[in-house]
Amino acid sequence: MAEVCYYRQLLEGIKEEHCCSIRAQKRTSGRRMQSDCVSTYLKLTLFISHIATETIQVITALCSPTVSISFLIAGPGGMLRAIQMIQSAKSQHNLGTTAKATVDLHPDRPDYRGFMGPKGFPFSLEADPSFEEIGSAGAHVEKHDKPHTVLDNMFLISGEIPRTTAYETGLRRGLRFDKSQGDWVDDHLIEDERLVMCKVKEKGIIMFTGCSHAGVVNASRHAVELGKGSPLYAVVGGYHLADAEVAQMEATVRDLKALNPSILVPGHCSGWRVKRLIENETAGWLAPSTVGTKLTF
């Protein structure tokens, strides 16, 4: 089948950092392939490249030789630019622009995120684009706070991730700005964070974490729960352990081992220490997550 090649051009055109681009292709069977949760007939290829100041995951699936639906998950640093480039690339390759990139958002997202500084003063991060700004950039905005499937049931996006571990406590000193109060309020749990997952035939669940402020173990356990009996195969994305204490890293690796995945792919915010620990404690589970890496499941 034809490949959605314009995403390679899209990624090459953006020069900043931190991107995961996931290209998913349905096998050519002439029929829609579904399971009770997500498609089990899926070949998944993961590309890692540079794109913006926040992690961006672009999931695409070819619906016909000429029409593509894309699903974009992005942080504020690169979202609007990525949407614009997706639409531009579609136009350049005669794929049309009527099938807009879908941006799936939690309805309770803040105007600003930040953190409390060491002297008690809040520091603001870049403003999140508003729903209106995202739509004006050329995307179709969907708001969900419950688990749901996308791309012909090939991928599942969770709702709020249950917090089950004692050691995964969120983002230390995390804040959000509340316009109604005109002040910063505590947001260390970042409850609007979600995960993305799919099932690959004869493999199991591949789960994409985002930055794991909810905890990579919490997210992995929830993915297994949502998978309704399917095994956990791979955990891809940030593990949020770069500044963690050794005890937390050890507990994380212990509890990930208990889920018995085949591949662990810790990304940007994981830190080198937990990667070394995974390599020492597991039998070849660690896979690279650097610019230019290509992983095919």
User: At 89, is the pLDDT very low, low, confident or very high (cuts 50, 70, 90)?
Assistant: confident
User: At 52, is the pLDDT very low, low, confident or very high (cuts 50, 70, 90)?
Assistant: very low
pLDDT surpassing 60 at residue 283:
yes
Write the DSSP symbol of residue 13: T
What is the average pLDDT across 259-285? 94
Map residue 134 onto helix, strand or coil.
helix
User: At 285, is the pLDDT very low, low, confident or very high (cuts 50, 70, 90)?
Assistant: very high
Angle between helices 246-259 and 272-281 (to 10 degrees): 50
Angle between helices 216-226 and 246-259 (to 10 degrees): 20
What is the average pLDDT across 56-67? 34
DSSP 238-294: --S-TT--HHHHHHHHHHHHHH--SEEEE-TTT-HHHHHHHHHHSSS-B---STT-E
Tens of pLDDT, residue by residue over 94-114, are: 766 567 888 889 999 888 899
Give the residues across from 60 on adjacent strands. Answer: 23, 70
What are the structural domains of the chain? 6-296 (3.60.15.10)
Map residue 87 onto helix, strand or coil.
helix
pLDDT surpassing 80 at residue 64:
no
User: At 66, is the pLDDT very low, low, confident or very high (cuts 50, 70, 90)?
Assistant: very low
